[in-house]
Amino acid sequence: MRSLAAFSVLCCIATAQKLARHLQRLTGQGRQCFEDRRLVFCRSDELRQRLPVAPAPIIDPVSAPETAGGRLSHERRPGGSTLIVEITVKDSNLANRLLSGSWASGAIGEQAKDRLNLIGPVSDQAFDDAGVRLTQIALPLLGRWAKWELVERSPEREGCGDGGVTWSMSVVLANLVGASVPEFPRLRVLEIGAGTGLVSLVLSGRGHDVMATDGDDCVLRNLRSNVGTAAGGGRSKIGTRSFRWHVEEDRMALAALGAFDMIVGADLAYDRSKCDALKGSLAYLLPSSDSELVLVERDRTGQSTACAVLLREDGWQVEDTAGRGLEGNAVVINGESNPRRLMEDSSRSLLIRVRRKTLSHELPEAQNMFLTFCRVILRFTAMYVP
């Protein structure tokens, strides 16, 4: 057993030495490289000389066939083949290294940045030493009032995860409800997974009574801070509370507050577990056909579409349509109007509307009486009118 362990250690050392020699050889050939655990990223000036002057065609990764490790596509060219691979980088430190540093400088580095289909928060500003940054967001189409300075917290430093920053689907949903939901009649609105609070701030600014919820304690603290700052401007009517979709007690406590006219959320149904938790909550959140759930999802891997199918199979009335994305002078982020990355990402949005199917026993009493009266008249007509 000891000999086997010693052999394994020697193999690991040999592999590490081989990798180090390979990295040194690549660096010696004029390639700028860095390694991140088991991955090595290199940029070759030699490769640039071999590339044709015309830029290679860009292939949309979303329409490319999927592989186990991401989306992969290639296109034949007279001078060779172009290969485009889409990867998901959850480590923001690695993502920052991929987009910065000496290896990414120059024409090739800038071209790589232009072609990277980055999926990330709407702001790319750096966090301070405390892991905090301010993101200025304005939605000019809604009016001069629709502008906020939101506190965002680093997922690594603060532990707020993805909910500590603002994502593109939240901006799409905020624009949608801000433009389509009238100020009157006043509605009771529930936002689930509110994050930094952008959607709730828009609806509150339109005069509606909003309850913003999130299941993460760190995100909830930051949400309350943003809501409190907005309240100082006199346009905020937002309550906040913790809501974990998968917890039965939380579902019952939220249902005890009474029915909401509208429930909104962004980037909620991105995997099967989230969809199952959402389905389990709808029986509490949509007690009648008078309430509606409005979701905006980035249907990255088809999980959101699959969730819409599951909801429909469970008997819900579901409409899912591809969103048009943001149009016109829709958004200003940190002084930049319509950031290209945000606009491209918004074009891949999926709008899902969910209602409880209307059953005859759920109709109001007056409507039931009217239907009964109509049936009597029809029977009388059929019996006595030739």
pLDDT of 380 over the 80 cut: no
DSSP codes joined into one string, 187-233: -EEEESS-TT-HHHHHHHHTT-EEEEEES-HHHHHHHHHHHHHHHTT
pLDDT of 359 over the 60 cut: no
Q: Residue range 16-41: average pLDDT? A: 55
pLDDT of 358 over the 70 cut: no
Q: For the chain, how big is the Rg over CA atoms in Å?
A: 27
Q: What is the rounded distance in angstroms from the CA atom of residue 135 to the CA atom of residue 152?
A: 7
* Cα dihedral sign, 174-179-181-187: positive
pLDDT of 95 over the 90 cut: no
**CB-based contact 222:151 (threshold 8 Å):** yes
Give the three-class secondary structure for 263.
Answer: strand
State the pLDDT at residue 158.
72
Among 15-19, 162-166, 189-193, 202-206, the minimum mean pLDDT is found in 15-19
Give residue-wise pLDDT tens across range 36-82. Answer: 555 555 555 444 444 344 443 443 333 333 333 333 333 344 444 44
**CB-based contact 198:166 (threshold 8 Å):** yes
Q: What are phi and psi of 15, to 5 degrees?
A: -65, -45
The neighbouring-strand residues paired with 85 are 72
> pLDDT averaged over the chain?
77
Give residue-wise pLDDT tens across range 113-123. Answer: 555 555 778 99
pLDDT of 216 over the 80 cut: yes
The pTM assigned to this predicted structure is 0.69
pLDDT of 149 over the 60 cut: yes
Among 109-123, 221-235, 323-337, 340-354, the minimum mean pLDDT is found in 109-123
Where do the domains of the chain lie, and which CATH numbers do they carry? 132-362 (3.40.50.150)
